[in-house]
Amino acid sequence: MGDACDTQIAVGLGIGESTVKTYLRKVLEKLGAADRTRAVTLAMERGLLPG
């Protein structure tokens, strides 16, 4: 993942890549996750995403 993924997300949402990175950092902090994969796992465990 990383920069290429961030760019694709930014283009798809019509926002800047720096905004994507800021939002990602905040989500990781709030969930206490080290990376995107762990964030998704934690969100599913907590019922924040459909499983």
b/e code 7-41 from CB counts within 10 Å (16+ = b) = eebbeeeeeeeeebeeebeeebeebebeeeeebee
Q: What is the pLDDT of residues 7-43, one digit of tens each?
A: 999 999 999 999 999 999 999 999 999 999 999 999 9
What is the amino acid identity at position 15?
Answer: I
pTM (global) more than 0.85 = no
Residue 3's pLDDT band, with cuts at 50, 70 and 90, is confident
Measure the CA–CA gap between 50 and 17, rounded to whole angstroms. Answer: 26
Is the pLDDT assigned to residue 45 strictly greater than 70?
yes
